[in-house]
Structure 1
Amino acid sequence: MTSSENGLKAIAVLEGFKGLLALMVAVGIHILAGRNLQQVAESIVSHAHLNPASHLPSIFIHAVGNVSASNMSLIAIGALAYTVIRFIEAYGLWKGLVWTEWFALVSGAIYIPFEVYEILFHTSIVGVGVFVINVIVVWYMANLLLRQRKNRTLAEDLYS
């Protein structure tokens, strides 16, 4: 197995993991459908031994309390669609399908400006980690596609 195949498989695993997380969100939202979400949020905060009156837990409780049933359905559908996209991308990268290589490059690059904004205005370890991983994936995919293009051009020159 070549290093590019290993890299593609590693990115495929990452994409599959992202799809699995999105699937867990979709299932979790489905399970919570019809429940009093503010009460669920308060229960989570209490279970985590957090002060519900402090800044972040109160923001969480307030935000969850304002989510309507129709919004829950839209979020669940969105999470399910994201799951399907990530699983298709993971499969394609695992199999070395070129179109998924391009898709991985473009879909990763789209997030970079938003991640930079998040780092600039809401810096966190998780945000920086996600940004670094995404930049590595985008750099790797761009590098791989450029090498493939160069190899194809060299082969065309040799046979023309």
Structure 2
Amino acid sequence: MIAAFEAAKGVVVVLLGIGVANFHHIAHHLGLENSSYYTSIFVEIFNKLNDRDLWQLVILATVYSLIRFIEAYGLWRERSWAEWLAIFSGAIYLPFEIIKIAEGYAWWKVVITAFNIMIVGYLLSIKLRKNNVKAVTRRSAFHF
């Protein structure tokens, strides 16, 4: 399930990247350029981006998506390195999420943080359990 979730995050970033790359064209085609305050903000932001900025966004999105797809593949195939990658990539967000909750309570911030803590905790418990089994197996191999 976590592998599918990680793959889905990669797909979402790819789709967002495609949407960002075509945002101005899509907004113009749908007549959204002046339809709302928020849409006009996005149009203005994208008008200010130069080619270098767009390429940086493309590279960042590509790297992020590749990491998510590699992680999903490794988790699906039950690879040890992918479990560590998932633990690290999930845990790295926790301090920032906790700070955001401390800055201002919102139920969705708590839900996202709790979900992330559950995933990291679950993966960490699996990893530690596997390491304990390996350690016991190694010790018992030397004791007839």
Q: Give the deviation of 1:132 after TM superposition.
A: 1.8
1:131/1:60 Cα in 2 relative to 1: closer, same or farther (>3 Å)? farther
Instruction: State the alpha-carbon separation in 2 of the partners of residues 117 and 44 from structure 1.
Output: 35
Moved segments of 4+, more than 3 Å: 56-69, 122-126
Kept in 2: contact 1:23–1:79 (CA 8 A): yes
Q: Give the deviation of 1:75 after TM superposition.
A: 1.0
1:25 counterpart residue number:
16
Structure 2 length normalisation: TM-score?
0.81
1:61/1:132 Cα in 2 relative to 1: closer, same or farther (>3 Å)? farther
Instruction: State the alpha-carbon separation in 2 of the partners of residues 82 and 108 from structure 1.
Output: 13
Kept in 2: contact 1:29–1:76 (CA 8 A): no
Kept in 2: contact 1:108–1:134 (CA 8 A): yes
Say which of 84, 94, 109 aligns to 1:112.
94
The gaps in structure 2 that reach 5 residues or longer are: none
Return the letter of the residue paired with 1:43.
L
Structure 1 residues 120-135: aligned runs within 5 Å: 120-135=102-117
Kept in 2: contact 1:25–1:76 (CA 8 A): no
Structure 1 residues 17-96: aligned runs within 5 Å: 17-32=8-23, 35=24, 43=32, 46=35, 50=36, 52=37, 63-64=45-46, 66-96=48-78
Kept in 2: contact 1:26–1:76 (CA 8 A): yes
The gaps in structure 1 that reach 5 residues or longer are: 1-9
Q: Give the deviation of 1:154 after TM superposition.
A: 1.2
2:4 counterpart residue number:
13
Structure 1 length normalisation: TM-score?
0.73
Q: Give the deviation of 1:97 after TM superposition.
A: 0.7
Q: Give the deviation of 1:157 after TM superposition.
A: 1.9
1:7 counterpart residue number:
none
Question: How well do the aligned residues superpose, as a CA RMSD in angstroms?
Answer: 2.8
Kept in 2: contact 1:119–1:128 (CA 8 A): yes
Identity of aligned residues (%): 30
Residue correspondences, number: 141
SS at match of 1:43: coil
Kept in 1: contact 2:86–2:120 (CA 8 A): yes
